[in-house]
């Protein structure tokens, strides 16, 4: 089976991608430094332990595994940390991705699938966010991702590094078999934080801001199931292998949910009260981020099958109750 180098394969989304790649007939080779990932999450193919900034380790990985493509998930992605320590983000995400791209080109691997984010768009009042929306990120995390997108375009022009860029909206849910799931430490994402609060594993959820210009005052996001998201990556890989042109795709459903709506849905799915309090706004949060594009559906043939809010919460809830990583 052809190898795919999966950076960040020990993390939340990367581990689900490894499972999807295996199912699609590829061998996922995880490349990870375990800064936020988990050894227990590497289940579907070989592991190379290494850092994105370690060019020698990357060269060895390309030489040994001869991947047909790179799927690049490895990054730091905490908005709050990016605001207080931007250098860490420019170093890990941008310098690390640059080293990875240089190693890929040197290793003759010129198919590259990249995890970008709708956080690159920033704040656009009442604007539908499609792939042509100007990118004006609000924080160093989004800025680091935009910079990597720019580097990819330069590397294609100069070195033929063909790429698919996926700008994710909010990724949620877990593998329905609960073989892998979301396990961030610290956890900051709304749905797992809420489920942990229901389980009594943490204090009540704090709603970060109730004075936004939205119908119920809380932020609106577009949630997409992690299994649908990684299915799109497999389609993106096929797209590149078919020789199609480099392309950017939003990955979202086009339906926005406020924080209060997510709380209501969790109450219904878990049949439990959600302990919560109302707090101030969190720095760096945009009011509303909803995908306005159907490009991935129309061009890639992507069909999200699991991305209803009830399904995402149910799968996350199953994982919270039955799965976890310890190392
Ligand atoms: N979770 C979301 O909602 C979301 C939304 C938009 C974009 N993204 C992007 O998706 C990707 C995956 O996110 P996730 O939620 O799975 O994160 P995660 O923290 O669970 O996984 C990231 C993985 O990358 C590894 N890593 C980080 N820096 C590394 C380095 N220098 N060298 C080697 N490995 C390194 C970590 O150890 C971890 O296993 C990231 O690029 C993130 O920016 C995530
Ligand atoms: O304890 C919490 C956690 C979150 N929220 C709110 O819930 C919404 C969703 O927050 P979160 O789950 O932290 O996701 P985002 O901040 O929207 O960021 C995620 O989604 C982005 C794309 O939108 C990605 O780029 C990031 O990597 C990913 O962390 C936001 O309005 C938050 O203010 C709360 O009110 N309380």
In tens, the pLDDT along 153-181 reads 999 999 999 999 999 999 999 999 999 99
Q: State whether residue 247 is helix, strand or coil.
A: strand
pLDDT > 90? residue 204: yes
Contact 69, 27 (CB under 8 A): no
pLDDT digits (tens, 9 = 90+) for 61-88: 999 999 999 999 999 999 889 989 999 9
141 carries an active-site annotation: yes
From atom 13 of ligand 2, which residue's Cα is the shortest distance away? 189
Q: Looking at the DSSP assignment, which residues form a beta bridge with residue 177? A: none
- Ligand 2 centroid–CA 208 distance in Å is 9
Section 212-216 average pLDDT: 96
Q: How far is the CA of 41 from the centre of ligand 1 (A)?
A: 13
ipTM of predicted assembly, 2 dp: 0.96
> Residue 287: phi, psi to the nearest 5?
-65, -50
Give the number of whichever ligand sits closest to the CA of residue 55.
1
**CA-angle at 317, arms to 316 and 320, nearest 5°:** 85
Give pLDDT, residue 128. 80
Please say whether the beta carbons of 71 and 233 come within 8 A: yes
Specify the pLDDT at position 122.
86
Contact, 130 vs 252, CB < 8 A?
Answer: no
Rounded Cα–Cα distance for residues 296 and 70 (Å): 20
Predicted confidence (pLDDT) at residue 125 exceeds the cutoff of 80 = no
Record the pTM: 0.97
Ligand 1, residues at Cβ distance < 6 Å: 7-8, 10-14, 32-37, 51-52, 73-77, 92, 96, 115, 117, 168, 170-171, 184
Residue 126 has pLDDT above 80, yes or no: no
pLDDT, tens digit (0-9, with 9 covering 90-100), for 236-263:
999 999 999 999 999 999 999 999 999 9
pLDDT at 326: 81
- Residue 242 burial (10 A CB sphere; 0-12, 13-18, 19+): exposed
> Which domains, and CATH codes, for the chain?
3-172+223-251 (3.40.50.720), 190-221+254-322 (3.90.25.10)
Say yes or no to pLDDT of 127 above 90: no
Mean pLDDT of 137-141: 90
User: What mean pLDDT do residues 48-65 have?
Assistant: 98
Pick the catalytic residue: 121, 141, 212, 223?
141
| Cβ atoms of residues 251 and 291 within 8 Å | yes
- Better-scored residue on pLDDT, 154 or 327: 154
Q: Output 23-28 pairs: Cβ under 8 A, ≥24 positions apart.
A: 24/234, 25/1, 26/1, 26/2, 26/68, 26/237, 27/1, 27/2, 27/3, 28/3, 28/4, 28/71
Please say if the pLDDT value at position 286 is more than 90: no
The residue nearest atom 18 of ligand 2, judged by CA position, is: 170
Residue range 123-131: mean pLDDT, rounded:
80
Residue with tokens 């931007």: 86
76 CA → ligand 1 middle, Å: 6
Average pLDDT over residues 113-130: 87
Report the pLDDT averaged over residues 130-150: 94
% pLDDT > 90, the chain: 89
Residue 284 has pLDDT above 80, yes or no: no
Q: Output the CA 184–ligand 1 centroid distance in Å.
A: 10
Residues 6+ apart with CB under 8 A from 162: 110, 111, 112, 156, 240, 245, 246
Q: Are 279 and 208 in contact (CB under 8 A)?
A: yes
Exposed / middle / buried, residue 272 (Cβ in 10 Å: 0-12, 13-18, 19+): middle
pLDDT for residue 106 is more than 90: yes
């Amino acid at each position: 089976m052809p190898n795919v180098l999966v950076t960040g394969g020990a993390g939340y989304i990367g581990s689900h991608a490894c499972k999807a790649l295996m199912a699609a007939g590829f061998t996922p080779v995880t490349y990870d430094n375990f800064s936020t990932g988990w050894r227990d999450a590497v289940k579907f193919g070989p592991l190379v332990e290494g850092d994105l900034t370690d060019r020698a380790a990357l060269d060895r990985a390309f030489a040994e595994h001869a991947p047909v493509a790179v799927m690049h998930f490895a990054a730091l992605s905490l908005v709050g940390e990016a605001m207080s320590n931007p250098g860490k983000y420019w170093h890990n995400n941008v310098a690390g991705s640059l080293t990875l791209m240089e190693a890929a080109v040197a290793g003759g691997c010129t198919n590259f699938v990249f995890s970008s984010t709708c956080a690159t768009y920033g704040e656009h009042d009442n604007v539908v966010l499609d792939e042509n929306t100007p990118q004006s990120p609000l924080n160093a995390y989004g800025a680091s991702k935009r910079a990597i997108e720019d580097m990819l375009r330069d590397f294609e022009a100069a070195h033929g590094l063909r790429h698919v860029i996926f700008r994710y909206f909010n990724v949620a849910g877990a593998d329905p078999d609960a073989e892998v799931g979301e396990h961030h430490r610290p956890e900051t994402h709304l749905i797992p934080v809420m489920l942990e609060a229901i389980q009594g594993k943490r204090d009540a959820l704090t709603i970060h801001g109730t004075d936004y210009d939205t119908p119920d005052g809380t932020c609106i996001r577009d949630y997409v199931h992690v299994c649908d998201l990684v299915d799109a990556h497999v389609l993106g890989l096929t797209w590149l292998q078919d020789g199609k042109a480099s392309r950017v795709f939003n990955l979202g459903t086009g339906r926005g949910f406020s924080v209060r709506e997510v709380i209501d849905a969790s109450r219904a799915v878990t049949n439990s009260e959600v302990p919560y309090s109302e707090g101030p706004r969190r720095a760096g949060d945009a009011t509303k981020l909803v995908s306005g594009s159907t490009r991935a559906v129309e061009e890639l043939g992507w069909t999200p099958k699991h991305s209803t809010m009830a399904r995402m919460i149910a799968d996350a809830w199953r994982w919270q109750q039955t799965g976890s990583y310890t190392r």
